[in-house]
Amino acid sequence: MQKNLTLLIMAAGMGSRFGGLKQIEPVGPTGEFIIDYSVYDAIQAGFNKIVFIIKEENYEVFKETIGKRIEDKIKVEYVFQRLEDLPEGYTCPENREKPWGTAHAILSAKNNIHEPFVIINADDFYGRDAYLVISKFLKEEVQNNKYGLVGYSVKNTLTENGSVKRGICKLKENYLQEIIESNVIEKNGVITATPLDGRDPFLVTEDTYVSMNMLGFSPSLFSYIEKAFPSFLEKNKDNILKCEYLIPDVLTMAIEEGYARTKVLPTTAKWEGVTYKEDKDSVVKAIQKLMEEGVYPQNLWKK
């Protein structure tokens, strides 16, 4: 019997980054977005449900632009990330405009997911091998206290057009100890990571594992995010208009507290994405090459 697996796609930030969903530029030959290839790869790897986290005001255009292409291929559900969805006793400050971050976004799906699931960013191309690796983990190893993180070699996640934000993984015997969110750039063959928390920059080798926010969980994650949310809000009450409740921070905290272990799952996949507008050409070329190799059909969702 097939195990139920869900792909949770964090797309609540798409409208703001691209000026509205209609502005997203296609990267495939028949108008496909990066998100289409993510769904296609997930289906090939055995996932049977997609949950999109979106802004409520984007629902109609999202459903018409992306949802309708895949609704006859896989079960699709939508959840909304709302600013006002906070723990009991807390209210959203009037001037807060920014979403509360990726951990808050994931929590918005707690009533829709009761099976092992994977989170991804909507605008990152992860590659087929990454889905196969995380799917195998969810089918064979995931537990209430054991999660999985797809580890990319940092050399497979860089762009020639500037620095990128990456989660540098500190490991002990294949298990995650810490994620150091950093700006990473390669110059003259030297890769430098500058932590976002103000720590000193450090050099990394090209095979250092980084997180691209492709993580596999059991539903126990929702309880932990919910339980830790009030203390996050208290800790950040002096920065309440801008603070973000982020999944890498939550994961590091869960590890430090002994709530869960996170196994790092190496992948040979190469990341593609449009961090800079100049990146689009390389994404288009990479997908074209994969089509020539037979990984994708020319028309992804041909009826």
CATH of the domain at 119: 3.90.550.10
Residue 30, domain member (yes or no): yes
| Total residues found in the chain within this entry | 303
Tens of pLDDT, residues 167-199? 999 999 999 999 999 999 999 999 999 999 899
CA 301 – CA 303 distance, rounded (Å)? 6
pLDDT at 303: 64
- Give the dihedral sign, CA 203/206/211/215: negative
Residue 62, domain member (yes or no): yes
> Could you tell me if 174 and 151 are in contact, meaning their C-beta atoms sit under 8 angstroms apart?
no
Residue 185, domain member (yes or no): no
> Could you tell me if 55 and 287 are in contact, meaning their C-beta atoms sit under 8 angstroms apart?
no
CA 64 – CA 55 distance, rounded (Å)? 14
pLDDT-based confidence at residue 75 (cuts at 50, 70, 90): very high
pLDDT at 62: 87
pLDDT at 64: 87
Of the chain, the end-to-end C-alpha distance in Å amounts to 28
Tens of pLDDT, residues 257-275? 999 999 999 999 999 988 7
> Could you tell me if 252 and 261 are in contact, meaning their C-beta atoms sit under 8 angstroms apart?
no
Burial 55-93 (b: 16+ CB within 10 A, else e): beebeeebeebbbebbeeeeebebbbbeeeeeeeeeeee
φ, ψ of residue 180 in degrees (nearest 5):
-105, 100
CA 69 – CA 72 distance, rounded (Å)? 8
pLDDT at 18: 52
Residue 246, domain member (yes or no): yes
Domain count across the chain: 1
Residue 132, domain member (yes or no): yes
Percent of the chain with pLDDT over 70: 96
pLDDT-based confidence at residue 1 (cuts at 50, 70, 90): low
CA 21 – CA 246 distance, rounded (Å)? 24
> Could you tell me if 244 and 101 are in contact, meaning their C-beta atoms sit under 8 angstroms apart?
yes
pLDDT at 15: 56
Residue 173, domain member (yes or no): no
Residue 18, domain member (yes or no): yes
Full residue range of the structural domain in which residue 24 is found: 6-144+211-266+274-292
Q: What is the pTM of this model?
A: 0.93
pLDDT-based confidence at residue 241 (cuts at 50, 70, 90): very high
Residue 176, domain member (yes or no): no
Tokens 């502005």 correspond to 23
Q: What mean pLDDT comes out for the span 64-86?
A: 93
DSSP states of 66-112? IIHHHTTTSEEEEEE--TT---TT----TT--S---HHHHHHTTTTT
